[in-house]
Amino acid sequence: MPYSLDDLNRMDRAAFVAALGAVFEESPWVAEAAWDKRPFADAADLRAAMTDIVRSAGPERQRALILSHPDLADRASRPANLTAFSQTEQAKAGLNELTEAEAQEQRDLNRTYRDRFGFPFIMAVRFSSRQEILAAMRERVANEPELEFGRALEEIYKIAGFRLDDLVVE
């Protein structure tokens, strides 16, 4: 359900967290902290506040946020507890239509990536094709761990931005 910025600015904490708690995957603490920063001048102000909260969180909390994200997966490999946002994002990116060879490559890359970095491959897939996703996985698995940790956070900020675009009308 889309919310006006005016509505969000007037909500009590519980309603605000209920409305925006899923913007950052399985991390309502971001919305809880953002509530204290109201009122927001516009959607960009809200987005910046939520992003700044994550940027200023310690590395342990950031790692927990990264770990809350699911692997990108074909329909058969997708966990049953995948959030509605993630289900929609992955389906729109064509991950439901992977060929068996693509699905196997993706599973292998997910495993290799997770073994190398200790967290799932994260990519804001909204405007990406399944071929672009696989290419990014092949490329990023060779990155250094520190670089990839930062890249995962940047992708999370993009994902949250897309989710806010869907939830907030000005």
Give the residue, 94 or 144, on which the prediction is more confident.
Answer: 144
Determine how β-strand 3-4 pairs with β-strand 168-169: parallel
Which residues are the active-site residues?
69
Percent of the chain whose pLDDT exceeds 90: 79
**Domain 71-168 -> CATH class:** mainly alpha
Task: Strands of the chain (E only): list them.
Answer: 3-4, 168-169
**Domain 3-64 -> CATH class:** mainly alpha
Q: Name the average pLDDT for the chain.
A: 93
Which pLDDT tens digit goes with each residue over 104-122?
Answer: 999 999 999 999 999 999 9
Residues of the chain with CATH 1.10.3330.10: 3-64, 71-168
pTM of model > 0.75: yes
Q: Are 78 and 90 in contact (CB under 8 A)?
A: yes
Q: Are 68 and 25 in contact (CB under 8 A)?
A: yes
* 75: confidence class by pLDDT, cuts 50, 70, 90: low
